Amino acid sequence: MELSTILIIIGVIAVILSFFIGNSTRTDADELEKISISLHQETNGLKKRLKIVEEELMIGLGSGQSDIPRPKQEKQVHEIIVNQILSLNAQGFSIEDIAKRASLTKAEVLSVLRSKGVM
């Protein structure tokens, strides 16, 4: 056999094998793309949650809390928390549940509800 004939046969075999091998590469690429999309979605969800937590922390810092003891004065509740309290109250949650969800005392929740004319 001549060298050119051997090379043609090897080329034909390589082309035929590429059809079979190519399919597994495509499925691997599809799986990798799905994983990438899933990871991207989870990352975006975590970023949103982190942003919410950061905002809540900034609200806490904005109220002037520090380790220095101060005379008893009524704590101001941020407007976002007030809206949350009003919404939970409208949904029928108890004062205790609202206090837990808003990280406030029952007295503070009652004070907010009274100031808004709900109670």
pLDDT tens by residue, 46-73: 999 998 888 888 876 655 544 444 444 4
> Is 107's pLDDT higher than 50?
yes
For 119, the 3-state DSSP assignment is: coil
Lowest-pLDDT range of 51-55, 72-76, 95-99, 113-117: 72-76
| Confidence (pLDDT) at 73 | 43
| Confidence (pLDDT) at 75 | 63
- In this structure, is the dihedral angle defined by the CA atoms of residues 108, 112, 117 and 119, taken in order, positive or negative? negative
- Give 26's pLDDT tier (boundaries 50, 70, 90): confident
| Confidence (pLDDT) at 79 | 85
What's the Cα-to-Cα distance from 91 to each of 5, 18, 49, 102, rounded to whole Å?
A: 83, 63, 23, 15
Q: What is the dihedral of CA 38, 43, 46, 48, to 10 degrees?
A: -110
Q: Are 78 and 62 in contact (CB under 8 A)?
A: yes
Encode pLDDT of 15-24 as tens digits: 888 877 766 6
Q: What is the pTM of this model?
A: 0.38
Supply 108's token pair: 């503070």
For 54, the 3-state DSSP assignment is: helix
Domain spans, the chain: 36-63, 77-119
For 93, the 3-state DSSP assignment is: coil
